[in-house]
Amino acid sequence: MNDIRLQVMWNRLLSVVEEQARALVRTAFSTSAREAGDISAGVFDLEGRMLAQAVTGTPGHVNSMARSVVHFLREFPAETMKPGDHFITNDPWKGTGHLYDIVITSPAFHEGRLVALFSCTTHVVDIGGLGQSPDGRQVYHEGLFIPLLPLVRQGVFDESLMRVVRANVREAVQVEGDIHALVACNLIGERRLSAMMAENGIATLDELGAHIIGRSRAGMETAIAALPQGSWDGHMRIDGYDAPIDLRARVTIAGDHVAVDFAGTSAASAYGINCPLCYTEAYTAFGVKCIIGPAIPNNAGTLDAIRVTAPENSIVHALHPAAVNARSTIGHMLPDVVYGALHQCIPGRVPAEGTSNLWNLKLGAGHGMTGTGARDAGDNRAAAPSDRPRAEPEGVNRPGKPISAPFMVTTFHSGGAGARPQQDGLSATPFPSGVRNVPVEITETIAPVVVWKKEYRPDSGGVGRQRGGLGQVMEVEHRHGAAFGIFATFERVHFAARGRDGGGDGAKGRLSLADGTVLKGKGFQVIPEGGRLVVEMPGGGGFGPVGERKAERVERDVEAGLVKRYEK
């Protein structure tokens, strides 16, 4: 009966952290959290071991956050924490991967006693610097770096720190609002945990925590022991910034653990696509766990069964002060690299390669980026007071050239996922990140842009017995015809997602203007006045020979407009 009682409390703990995450989504200011769910939330024991994570969130946030709490405890020992304390950082090497992700960790008290820690993360809309671009050469170019610091002491915000934040970001209201939402998220977690403990009559989480970690670790060990033992190699070449990048992984299944070694992977880049080790660990562990023990809850017990190593100063283990703004460009590709090795070990269980890299539209405008900030985009004069519009909406057109009013927005979208051994790949679906696509109506409401087109991209999925997921096509224009910019961080422009077991490759992605001008897959670029941005997202690879695809499925695809032709 004791095991049953512990299992009931474990399930209740999962509900606590899910409500914690939902509080963040419902109170956040930015679309990243509110619409896309680009967050994480979890509860930790007093040693910094994650006991439970919310389902809402992304693997990169969850699994890197899982490592960050230990850093907070080293800086702020548990015995020094007081009720109402909250601690903050966006240190890329201590649990975020890049400066745009802010982590807040907070002590949780029950009946006056410290019993746990809650932690949560969100991707803020801006952090200053160059913006959401991979063009930086050092982390110092990329925005405001917040070391591990106290944010709130016994319920009192550090206003000096908040003034520093507001002074360094373009969207101060959204960023400050998200920070308050992070604090509220952990407060909800503390409140719900205390209620759960009171209901079950427990004073600490010691016994429950040991049960969670022990059972999870045992489950992973059983799953790993049932696999063939040995080592297998995976390799994938991707676009990179200025030169192709080789990602290599040796996956070793050895009794009670899986080891993944990225030796042989390309060196760190001079640009901001580098990946700190914590983020490499996060997505590598997620990729492994999707195949091995996917039903076992994610916590310290399961994560410790996956050991990740990489050479220092490689692109998957970049050291300070490397630029890391677009670290997801690399991190999101790592499950596919691991799957290339696992397919040799356990064929028929892993999907074909997908787009993997998110095709988020990170758009913005402002002084020095797309214009001078004056009334006329080509005029260096500031508008005289008598010339300024009165009682008119921001961004309304005046005589002369179109106004390029300052704005920053991230709208989440994706290409196709790879075909699965028994099912087609999911179209316009982000894997492995798991974020939701942002409705175009939301983007059009908060930014001066119009999305003229958003539809599936026919024939973009790789052919095969199981078809790869389709990408999508989007066309975007400034609402007033003004210039705006895109911070491109796209992959699969030069190297397509590969099919598996005879399946065809997915279509490559393409970024261009409506007049046919081709844009680069990475870096900040300006869409000129009156121009329209065209984004053609890649498709996922197919699985198995196309000749084995059932005729009725081909006919259904053609009838739906997903496929225009199918070659045998």
One-letter-per-residue 3-state SS of 128-186:
CCCCCCCCCCEHHHCCCCCCCEEEEECCEECHHHHHHHHHHCCCHHHHHHHHHHHHHHH
| pLDDT score for 398 | 45
- The DSSP output letter for 205 is S
| CA 241 from centroid of its chain's CA atoms | 19
- Of 38, 20, 183, 189, nearest to 124 (Cα)? 38
Q: What is the CA radius of gyration of the chain?
A: 24
Residue 319 corresponds to which amino acid?
A: L
> CA-CA distance, 472 to 370, in Å (whole number)?
27
Tokens of 320: 């300070």
* Concatenated DSSP letters of 259-307: EEE-TTPPBPPSSTT---HHHHHHHHHHHHHHHSSTTSPPSHHHHTTEE
> CA-CA distance, 486 to 479, in Å (whole number)?
15
Tokens of 94: 């201590």
| pLDDT score for 383 | 32
- Of 445, 449, 362, 365, nearest to 405 (Cα)? 365
> CA-CA distance, 319 to 303, in Å (whole number)?
23
- Of 120, 112, 106, 121, nearest to 190 (Cα)? 106
| CA 88 from centroid of its chain's CA atoms | 19
| CA 274 from centroid of its chain's CA atoms | 15
> CA-CA distance, 513 to 484, in Å (whole number)?
12
**Is the CA virtual torsion 167, 172, 173, 179 positive or negative?**
negative
pLDDT tens per residue across all 568 residues of the chain: 598 999 999 999 999 999 999 999 999 999 889 898 899 999 999 999 999 999 988 888 888 888 899 999 999 999 999 999 999 999 999 988 999 999 999 999 999 999 999 999 999 999 999 998 999 999 999 999 999 999 999 999 999 999 999 999 999 999 999 999 999 999 999 999 999 999 999 999 999 999 999 999 999 999 999 999 999 999 999 999 999 999 999 999 998 999 999 999 999 999 999 999 999 999 999 999 999 999 999 999 999 999 999 999 999 999 999 999 999 999 999 999 999 999 999 999 999 999 999 999 999 999 888 875 544 333 322 333 333 333 334 444 444 555 568 899 999 999 999 999 999 999 999 999 988 889 999 999 999 999 999 999 999 999 999 999 999 999 999 999 999 999 999 999 999 999 999 999 999 999 999 999 999 999 999 999 999 999 999 999 999 999 999 999 999 999 999 998 665 5
CB atoms within 10 A of CB 165: 20
* Concatenated DSSP letters of 409-460: EEE----PPPPPSSSPPPTT--TTT-PPPPPHHHHHHHSSEEEEEEEE-TT-
> CA-CA distance, 532 to 542, in Å (whole number)?
32
| pLDDT score for 60 | 85
| pLDDT score for 379 | 33
Tokens of 458: 């026919």
Residue with tokens 């790789």: 462
Residue with tokens 């419902």: 26
For the sheet with 484-489, list strands across it.
407-411, 361-365, 484-489, 522-527
